[in-house]
Amino acid sequence: MLSPDEKVQSSPSEAAPSNSEQTLIAETKPSTGHSLRREIRVWTRDLLIAIGLALVIIIFLYQPVKVEGTSMAPLLSDQERIFINKFVYRFEPIERGDVVVFWYPLDRSKSFIKRVIALPNEVVQIRGGVVSVDGKVIPEPYVPPQYEDLSDYGPVRVPRDMYFVMGDHRISSNDSRVFGPVPSRSIYGRAVFAYWPVDHFGTLSSSAEAKEK
Contacts of 18 (CB under 8 A, 6+ apart): none
Cα dihedral sign, 147-153-155-156: negative
* Catalytic entry in 66, 71, 136, 205: 71
The active-site residue out of 77, 114, 173, 207 is 114
> Nearest-CA neighbor of 149 among 122, 123, 168?
168
Distance of CA 47 to the CA centre of its chain: 22
Question: Which residues does 94 contact at the CB level (< 8 Å), separation at least 6?
Answer: 100, 116, 119, 163, 184, 187
Q: Cα separations (Å) of 196 from 45, 69, 116, 141, 212?
A: 31, 15, 24, 23, 26
Strand partners, 125: 132
Question: Is-catalytic flag, 114?
Answer: yes
Residues assigned a catalytic role: 71, 114
